[in-house]
Amino acid sequence: MADEYRRIETKLVHSGEYPRYEGAVTTPIFQSAMFETYGGEGYHDIKYIRLNNTPNHDVLHKKLADVENAERALVASSGMAAITSTLLTLLHAGDHLLIQSTLYGGTDSFITDDIPGFGIEFDFIDPDDPGSWASKIKSNTKVIYVETISNPLIEVGDLKAVVEFAKANGLVSMIDNTFASPINYRPIEHGFDLSLHSCTKYLNGHSDIVGGAVIGGADLIARIKHKMDHLGCTLDPHACFLLQRGLKTLALRVRWQNESALRIAKFLEVHRSVGKVNYPGLESNLYYERARELFEGCGGMLSFEIAGDLGAVDRFMRKAKIPLIAPSLGGTESLLTRPAVTSHAGMSPADREKKGISDTLIRMSVGVESTDELIEDLDQALGG
């Protein structure tokens, strides 16, 4: 059966699911490292878990490609596996990369600590200042890399300009779309070459696996698969099964989280114990117009400053009953972190201040609990 599902909700449930093995409504877990061959096949036709090509992988590849309206998709053992193997496919010794300066911590550390060892050069760019990019491009620049929404200040770069700049200069454009999810932004539809995800977050959505994905055109994905096969970026079949299950409810979860985060941001914005609130769905936000133009929703991630000292931050974190204090994001449970002592602890206080990450900044990943109850809880934790 050809995949002819038109709308994202239907694709999430049905794309890639055919054939139904023995009529099973959900794809079973194929816990088999290899599969019988019938002669004549080449290496890539051999089904073997390391090659990410068992029935559990095939379903995900078709579903993810269909959901972001791309030709092909590949899953990987983690978001970092997808990011690093893609960068190492596209860049070789002597090549140069332009990359956004505020990055997910793991990506930032890979770029600054590991990439130079491969003989690859890079320059950081401000994704909100397209005018400054031309002076950084070199004859050996091959790739431009951005994130849809940055952490922890929830900023939205000039994504349209990134696509135009990449096309004008013959660069491959890559975007880490983890924070937006395909419900709110589908990069391939907007002209990006490759969209990457940590499936650990919204795509799986239940905080119980680690996984990654890269989505794009057939030629690029074939090259990335070659690299992943050799680096061993395999997603285990059981994790595939859980990711497939999580994807079916992605639209329900993310739309709830969009609405809930917006209401929470509006509540926080006028609260006397709260300073600045960072959420692009707020009219007061610097990125409001851009987000309205680009996104179908602003997602479940927000951050805010407690108006007070570190003692006030401590009291708030201890008194909040519903959100857990834990890293990561995108699951059913609301989570709180303090970036200055977690994700950005490695940065010097001066650098943190330069980036606007204050010691009283709290990041919240809004889950799928009752919005009213979350607001009541935040209110009592902030001291009413």
Per rule CB under 6 A, is residue 356 in the interface with ligand PLP? no
Select the span of 88-96, 185-193, 194-202, 341-349 touching ligand PLP (CB under 6 A). 194-202
**Least distance to ligand PLP from the beta carbon of 109, Å?**
11
Per rule CB under 6 A, is residue 127 in the interface with ligand PLP? no
Taking the CA atoms of 255, 289, 271 and 361 in sequence, report the sign of the dihedral they define.
positive
Give, as ranges, the residues between 200 and 239 that touch ligand PLP (CB under 6 A).
200-201, 210, 212
| Among 176, 229, 296, 305, interactor with ligand PLP by CB under 6 A | 176
Per rule CB under 6 A, is residue 301 in the interface with ligand PLP? no
Taking the CA atoms of 267, 268, 271 and 277 in sequence, report the sign of the dihedral they define.
negative
Per rule CB under 6 A, is residue 331 in the interface with ligand PLP? no
| Among 30, 104, 122, 202, interactor with ligand PLP by CB under 6 A | 104
Question: What distance, in Å, lies between the first and last C-alpha atoms of the chain?
Answer: 57
| Among 84, 184, 195, 198, interactor with ligand PLP by CB under 6 A | 198
How many residues are listed for the chain in this entry? Answer: 384
Select the span of 85-93, 100-108, 283-291, 345-353 touching ligand PLP (CB under 6 A). 100-108
Q: Which of 40, 16, 11 is nearest to 26 (CA)?
A: 16
Per rule CB under 6 A, is residue 258 in the interface with ligand PLP? no
Residue 211 and residue 75 in contact, taking contact as beta carbons nearer than 8 Å: yes
Give the CB-nearest residue to ligand PLP: 79
Show which residues are catalytic.
Answer: 50, 104, 176, 201
String of contacts with ligand PLP for each residue 269-298, x by CB under 6 A = ------------------------------
Select the span of 171-179, 182-190, 217-225, 368-376 touching ligand PLP (CB under 6 A). 171-179
**Least distance to ligand PLP from the beta carbon of 355, Å?**
16
Q: Which is nearer to ligand PLP, 78 or 234 (CB)?
A: 78
Per rule CB under 6 A, is residue 338 in the interface with ligand PLP? no
Per rule CB under 6 A, is residue 344 in the interface with ligand PLP? no
Residue 324 and residue 337 in contact, taking contact as beta carbons nearer than 8 Å: no
- Contacts with ligand PLP by CB under 6 A: the residue count is 15
String of contacts with ligand PLP for each residue 58-97, x by CB under 6 A = --------------------xxx-----------------
Q: Which is nearer to ligand PLP, 104 or 287 (CB)?
A: 104
Q: Which is nearer to ligand PLP, 5 or 124 (CB)?
A: 124
User: Can you tell me the distance from the alpha carbon of 89 to that of 76, in angstroms, rounded to the nearest whole number?
Assistant: 14
Select the span of 110-118, 129-137, 196-204, 366-374 touching ligand PLP (CB under 6 A). 196-204
Q: Which is nearer to ligand PLP, 97 or 382 (CB)?
A: 97
Per rule CB under 6 A, is residue 27 in the interface with ligand PLP? no
Q: Which is nearer to ligand PLP, 67 or 382 (CB)?
A: 67
Q: Which residues bind ligand PLP (CB under 6 A)?
A: 78-80, 104, 106-107, 147, 176, 178-179, 198, 200-201, 210, 212
